[in-house]
Structure 1
């Protein structure tokens, strides 16, 4: 699954409207419209899980910069995917081992 970000959504967006709009270009697995807890209005963005990378790339290339319900939307593959990878030291910096803890 590939997570994509969609920004620039109107505050009255419904998940079903977004699902129909996006699913014309790729298979959508889940939708999470981010809403204000107090008012229930959309904060202007959502995250979608797309079945495959080719579908996600097609959605991004087709819908980024398009108009949806009167707003120009931004669509991109979410950077959150990189956060789940294991820690790797930078190539130009040597890895420093931590000092061992004293056993009591």
Structure 2
């Protein structure tokens, strides 16, 4: 699955509204609208998991820069899916673990 980011959403967006918009262009697996904890209003963006890379590319090319409920939305493939996560170096098991903060001496 491929994760995409959608920004520029109105604060009263519902998951079903977003599902209807996006599912016309590709198969959506999950939707996570990011909301303010105190008010429950959308913070203006959401993450969606899309079934396949061709579907995700179709969604991005079709919807990026379009107007949705009076807002111009930004749609792009999430950086974490494009390899940024895989580029992180793995720790060497032959070296001892070093804490980032020194321990307090008692």
Where 2:54 maps in the other structure, the secondary structure is: helix
User: What's the CA shift string for 1:32-64, capped at 9, x where partnerless?
Assistant: 000000000000000000000000000000000
Range with greater deviation from structure 2 (92-101 or 23-32): 92-101
Contact residue 33 and residue 47 of structure 1 kept, 8 A: yes
> Does the C-alpha gap of structure 1 residues 42 and 99 become closer, same or farther in structure 2, counting only changes over 3 Å?
closer
Q: TM-score, normalised by structure 2?
A: 0.79
Q: Normalising by structure 1, report the TM-score.
A: 0.80
Looking at structure 2, the residues matched to 38 and 98 of structure 1 have their Cα atoms a distance apart, in angstroms, of 34
**Once the 2 structures are TM-superposed, how far is the Cα of residue 95 of structure 1 from its aligned partner?**
17
Question: In angstroms, what is the RMSD of aligned CA positions?
Answer: 5.1
User: Are the aligned partners of 1:29 and 1:50 in contact in 2 as well (CA < 8 Å)?
Assistant: yes
How far the C-alpha of 1:80 sits from its partner, in A, is 1.9
CA deviations over 1:45-103 (Å, ceiling 9, x no partner)? 0000000000000000000000111100000000122577445669x999999999999
Q: How many residue pairs are counted as aligned between the two chains?
A: 103
In structure 2, the gaps of 5 or more residues are: none
Mapped contact 1:89–1:95 kept (Cα < 8 A): no
